[in-house]
């Protein structure tokens, strides 16, 4: 909860937003930032990196006897590679690396959370994290970039005009909410579009290279991701403004403050049980959603012997269909154990990815809309930061467990049992949600906070 002094600082910051309206150039610069960094989630980490890592591990790997060099010329080859002092399945290798990377990024996210809401270096932090690259992806996308949304909604010319017209606070908040929704939606479109363009360009590289057992084409596609990333960051560097926020309290450590802030938000959720239930559901949904595409790419590569060009083609299907917006997908894959269908044919993978792409967008929007309704007013940044921590923190578990399953059984298809469980479980959690109770709990939370602040002032 914020102290009265912090509330005063934030009120002053909002008044500064009124005197510094959002310009079209700044808004375009922010959209171009999303257009630049979208290549990471849509193209790099979901398709290019897993394929490159698996190919490299197989080239340096061995058959299951741990002596004979791996034969990658056959479909559904079973090979292991060194991981430290032990051997792991070559399909597990990229999953473990991704899990470690995401876990590190989640820790970095929590440690740097305060940087987005305090001080006058928001733009510097955003661009510094962006230029640093993939190691800081979570920090700049989830911490800094989304924090522009509530600020832009407050300093939007239409909102400022409405305030000066004498409109009620309810009318102003309704307008801010509509603008926030548009900003969020348009930024997602920019993100997906950027990733889609790079995927198509990567496909062109693969068609030109046409390598079968090497990853040269995918490695060149990764180089393209970096070039794209750096080029389109030129425009937000020039057009985004700093828009200073209230400073951090004197004498506090940046990282310690961020961890304490997350802890306070977690403690406050004890009074918001409906909100916590949705967070639990989102934890499992985001984990399955972030893991399923990587597992499917690796399964298509080894289990069905799909070429690099085919892998790139079906990866393009996801962002195309993601605008329209999953639990039956793992179940369908499991049918392949007993029936002549269920991801046993190449054509099924194409259909599989179309359905996944159709559902993923609406699933994200559904959870975010629910969450926005049942969080306390005035604490949107804190709770949506927790929402994103939940998503990113869980994203390390799916690859880790999937890697362990594959490593133990040498059968990546078995991962779909795990994916089925973590995607189906949220159905039962969401079914118990009481939206009206969640809204009333959020209002009670605000009343209690106001009473505590009044008592402290006296």
For 423-443, give the DSSP string: HHHHHHHHHT--HHHHHHHHH
pLDDT higher than threshold 60 for residue 436: yes
* pLDDT at residue 277, rounded to an integer: 84
- What is the pLDDT at residue 377? 67
How high is the pLDDT of residue 366? 62
Residue 10 has pLDDT above 60, yes or no: no
Query: Can you give the pLDDT at residue 81?
Result: 92
- pTM of this structure: 0.73
**Residue 246, pLDDT score:** 64
What confidence tens digit (pLDDT) does each residue in 84-98 have? 888 999 989 999 988
pLDDT tens sequence across 185-227? 788 778 888 888 898 898 888 888 765 556 788 888 888 988 8
pLDDT band at 1 (very low <50, low <70, confident <90, very high): very low
Contact predicate 196/320, CB 8 Å: yes
Q: Which residue has the higher pLDDT, 101 or 392?
A: 101
Helices (H), 120-168: 122-132, 137-138, 148-154, 157-164
* pLDDT score recorded for residue 409: 87
Least confident range from 53-57, 120-124, 248-252, 278-282: namely 120-124
**Nearest CA-CA partner of 110 in 89, 130, 139:** 139
Residue 125 is predicted with a pLDDT of 55
What does the alpha-carbon distance between residue 210 and residue 307 come to, in Å, rounded to a whole number? 9
Please report the pLDDT score of residue 135 as a whole number.
Answer: 42
From the list 113, 145, 171, 118, the residue with the least C-alpha distance to 36 is 145
Q: Where residue 381 falls among pLDDT bands split at 50, 70, 90?
A: low
What's the CA angle centered on 264, arms 258 and 270, to 5 degrees?
A: 145
pLDDT at 365 over 70: no
pLDDT at 299: 86
Per-residue model confidence (pLDDT) at position 42:
80
User: Percent of the chain scored above 70 by pLDDT?
Assistant: 71
Where does 4-457 sit in CATH, by number? 1.20.1250
> How much is the pLDDT for 325?
47
pLDDT of 295 higher than 80: yes
Beta bridge partners of 87: 82
Residues whose CB falls within 8 Å of the CB of residue 85, separated by 6 or more in sequence, listed in order: none
Give me the residue spans of the domains in the chain.
Answer: 4-457
- pLDDT for the residue 9: 52
Binning pLDDT at 50, 70 and 90, where does residue 138 land? very low
Nearest to 129 by CA among 153, 113, 151, 150: 113
Residue 5 predicted with pLDDT over 60: no
Has residue 291 got a pLDDT over 70? yes
Question: What digits encode the pLDDT tens for the residues 104-113?
Answer: 777 766 666 5
What residues have CB less than 8 Å from 312, skipping those under 6 apart?
Answer: 47, 199, 202, 203, 206, 221
Among 422, 367, 425, residue whose Cα is nearest residue 398: 422
Among 49-53, 209-213, 313-317, 438-442, name the one with the lowest average pLDDT: 209-213
Residues 6+ apart with CB under 8 A from 183: 149, 152, 153
Task: Pick the range with the lowest mean pLDDT from 174-183, 364-373, 409-418.
Answer: 364-373
280 exposure class (CB count in 10 Å sphere: 0-12, 13-18, 19+): middle
Region 35-61: what's the mean pLDDT? 86
Calculate helix-pair angle for 273-302, 92-111, nearest 10 degrees.
150
pLDDT over 50 (residue 140): no
For residue 117, the model assigns a pLDDT of 56
Q: What is the pLDDT of residue 290?
A: 73
The torsion angles phi and psi of 156, rounded to 5 degrees, stand at -65, 135
Taking 70 as the threshold, does the pLDDT of residue 360 lie above it? no
Please give the Cα distance from 127 to 106 (Å, whole number): 19
Type and span of the H or E element at 79? strand 79-83
Mean pLDDT of the chain, nearest integer: 76
The pLDDT value given to residue 28: 92
For the ranges 51-55, 126-130, 185-189, 403-407, the lowest mean pLDDT is seen at 126-130
Cα 105 to Cα 261: distance, rounded to the nearest angstrom: 18
Q: Could you tell me the strand order of the sheet in which 79-83 lies?
A: 62-63, 79-83, 86-89
């Amino acid at each position: 909860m914020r102290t009265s002094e912090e509330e005063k600082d934030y009120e002053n910051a909002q008044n500064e937003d009124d005197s510094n309206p959002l310009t079209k150039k700044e808004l375009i610069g922010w959209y171009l930032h999303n257009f630049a960094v979208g290549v990471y989630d849509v193209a790099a980490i979901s398709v290019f990196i897993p394929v490159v890592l698996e190919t490299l591990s197989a080239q340096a790997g061995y058959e299951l006897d741990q002596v004979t060099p791996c034969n990658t010329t056959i479909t559904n080859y079973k090979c292991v590679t060194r991981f430290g002092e032990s051997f792991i399945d070559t399909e597990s290798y990229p999953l473990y690396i991704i899990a470690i990377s995401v876990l590190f990024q989640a820790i970095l996210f929590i440690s740097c959370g305060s940087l987005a809401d305090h001080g006058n270096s928001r733009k510097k932090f955003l661009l510094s994290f962006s230029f640093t690259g993939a190691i800081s992806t979570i920090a700049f996308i989830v911490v800094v970039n989304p924090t522009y949304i509530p600020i832009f909604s407050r300093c939007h010319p239409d909102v400022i005009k409405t305030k000066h017209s004498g409109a009620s606070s309810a009318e102003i908040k309704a307008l801010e909410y509509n603008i926030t929704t548009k900003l969020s939606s348009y930024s997602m479109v920019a993100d997906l579009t950027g990733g889609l363009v790079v995927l198509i360009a990567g496909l062109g590289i693969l068609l030109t290279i046409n390598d079968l057992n090497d990853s040269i084409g995918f490695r060149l596609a990764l180089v393209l991701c970096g070039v794209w990333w750096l080029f389109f960051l030129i425009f937000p560097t020039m057009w985004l403004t700093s828009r200073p926020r209230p400073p951090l309290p004197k004498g506090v450590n940046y990282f310690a403050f961020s961890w304490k802030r997350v802890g306070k938000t977690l403690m406050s959720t004890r009074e918001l049980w409906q909100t916590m239930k949705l967070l639990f559901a989102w934890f499992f949904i985001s984990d399955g959603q972030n893991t399923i595409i990587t597992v499917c790419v690796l399964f298509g590569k080894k289990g069905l012997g799909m070429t690099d060009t085919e892998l790139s083609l079906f990866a393009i299907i996801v962002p195309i269909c993601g605008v329209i917006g999953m639990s039956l997908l793992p179940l369908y894959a499991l049918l392949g154990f007993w029936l002549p269908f269920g991801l046993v044919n190449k054509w099924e993978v194409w259909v599989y990815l179309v359905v996944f792409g159709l559902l993923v967008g609406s699933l994200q929007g559904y959870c975010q809309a629910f969450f926005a309704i049942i969080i306390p007013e005035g604490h949107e940044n804190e709770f949506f930061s927790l929402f994103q921590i939940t998503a990113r923190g869980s994203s390390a578990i799916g690859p880790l467990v999937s890697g362990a399953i594959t490593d133990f059984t040498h059968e990546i298809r078995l991962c779909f049992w795990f994916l089925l469980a973590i995607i189906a479980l949220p159905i039962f959690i969401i079914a118990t949600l009481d939206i009206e109770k969640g809204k009333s709990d959020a209002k009670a939370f605000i009343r209690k906070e106001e009473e505590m602040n009044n008592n402290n002032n006296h």
